[in-house]
Structure 1
Amino acid sequence: MRIGELARRTGVSERALRYYEEQGLLTPLRRPSGYRVYGDADVAAVRRIRILLGAGLNTAQILEILPCIVDEDGWLTPDCPELTEALRQQRARIDEAIGELEATRANLDTIIGAERRGG
């Protein structure tokens, strides 16, 4: 299938698919004309990429861990022991960011409350 068909089947823009290729996440075959040719495996790969992006990983991280991800009945699971630890570290970074955002929100709530009391 060509890039337009892959975009339709995955709901991902052609631009994003080209970006995934630039990042090494997809490696379509090329016709002599230069057209990209994708297979059904690429549909599944795009699905995994989107899930991992949604989990807060960047494309460099995804490139590194993608070979260690197994898609079992729609659930992505790590297949390399070191991957589980890396994912735990990523989760810890997200937890820290959430904590910082909650503190920021609490500060704003205090300021908003002071504004109401003062005027």
Structure 2
Amino acid sequence: MIDLTKVEHIYLVTGYTDMRKQIDGLTSIISVNYQKLDLRINRIFIFCSRDRTKIKILEVDQTGVWVYYKRTHGEKFIWPKDDKVILVEERQLKWLLDGLSPIQKRAHKTRYYDY
């Protein structure tokens, strides 16, 4: 599993990505389409397939680039369709990997009770 203690930024690359792309293809998506984001150390970029059953996580560390791959058994990831990059937190990444929406303001609705 990814060591999130060293990760500074986690980026969700929304829209759909061709999962046949490997390290070079995924890094070129970042360097060509999102020129403001550079591939610096301790950053993670998350990509999703069109059918939303597969994700790839690109991690840049001190010695190189890692690619992590997760495929579900038919369940779909909840994935934004926009073509942009969203900065997410560690807990939102865990929500995504558990099958929840990574883009939500809070897990429970705020309720106010008068006793």
Name the TM-score, length of structure 1 as normaliser. 0.28
Larger Rg: 1
Name the structure with the higher strand share.
2
* Structure with the bigger percentage of helix: 1
Higher RCO (CA < 8 A, seq sep 6+): 2
- Please, what TM-score do these two structures have when normalized by structure 2? 0.28
